[in-house]
Amino acid sequence: MIRFFGLTLFDIVDPRTRLGQPPDHVSKILSEEIKKMGIKINPVKTVKADRNRYCGPAVISAMTKMNTGEAARLLRDISGKPSVRGCYTHHVLMALSRCGITGKPIHNHLDRPTLTRWLKHYKADRTSGRVFLVVAGNHFQLIEGRRYVCGRTGEIVSVRDKRVKRRARVAEAYELVLRSEGKIKIPDEARKPKQDSNHSYVSRMKKKYDFDIEYLSSNHWFVAMNDKAESLAEKIDHDLAFEHYCYSIGEVAQRVEHMVEFMEDNFPQKTKTVPALAAMLKF
């Protein structure tokens, strides 16, 4: 027998179902299945070293559990902008889509209602496991049942909380649903890149030997030793006297290694003796 959400054809054509009043066992099965497929809102996740305080990244964080810095990084990848201070709705929806969440527009028959009126109008639709992205008062917010979260609250609060701007006018609303994969994912574009060891090595050697290393433009560096070492390299016709431009941090690191070898061979640094140790040796 054909089944839909665990229901038989007999269950579906039950007279009470046709009248819009499904039997109790049908309602129970449907609610359980919807709950399995549904998604829930979470508190906005902020990390001190990687965060953004605006509402767009906040709602993405509350849906995916990524921190606001990661959400902002994902939005920057989509918009091409160097920073996220405000964002368009379609950019937020595209970011959520990359995470496996689709935003289905709700065709609003009300003329820019207040958030209070919108909540009343869609009260029957606001059930557990159904999440709505609402744009009201130029602010992104998430609503699930009577639960609410946004960048202002950070935590999940009641829709009647005083921090909820209930008189703001609703411009857009979307129901957020999981795609067929049924799983939320965090794209690689959102991850904070690990610090390249080449960068730290180059930085240390630049400071130690007074190298002249300058980042000029995209993947374009000028790399040279100090004036005294450059003069010697030119005098003895050393390879380091020629071609001071590199086109990746890897190339920079390799050239710096050769420069360090040149410095150690021709300008060996004297070992500093600790005064207390010197006194002991003298004694």
pLDDT score of 37 more than 90: no
Return the higher-pLDDT residue of 34 and 262: 262
Over residues 217-227, mean pLDDT: 85
pLDDT in tens, 157-216: 999 999 999 999 999 999 999 998 888 999 988 988 766 688 889 999 999 999 999 988
User: What is the 8-class DSSP label of residue 50?
Assistant: B
pTM score, two decimals?
0.61
**Region 26-54 average pLDDT:** 73
10 or 199, which is more confident: 199
Domain ranges of the chain: 55-190, 197-266
Tell me the pLDDT band of 130, cut-offs 50, 70 and 90.
Answer: very high
User: What's the alpha-carbon Rg for the chain, to the nearest Å?
Assistant: 31
Q: Residue 208: its pLDDT value, please? A: 92
Name the pLDDT band for 217 (thresholds 50, 70, 90): confident
CATH class of 55-190: alpha beta
Question: Residue 143 has what pLDDT?
Answer: 97
> What integer pLDDT is reported at residue 28 of this predicted model?
53
Determine the angle formed by the axes of helices 197-209 and 249-266, rounding to 10 degrees: 30
**In this structure, which amino acid lies at residue 115?**
L
Q: H or E segment at 185? A: none
With beta carbons less than 8 A apart as the criterion, state whether 169 and 112 touch: yes
* Whether pLDDT at 248 is above 90: no
Is the pLDDT at 9 greater than 50? The verdict is no
In three-state secondary structure terms, 171 is strand
Asked if 73 contacts 87 with a C-beta cutoff of 8 angstroms, the reply is no
Of 35-44, 93-102, 270-279, the one with minimum mean pLDDT is 270-279
Q: By C-alpha distance, which of 110, 150, 109, 111 is closest to 131? A: 150
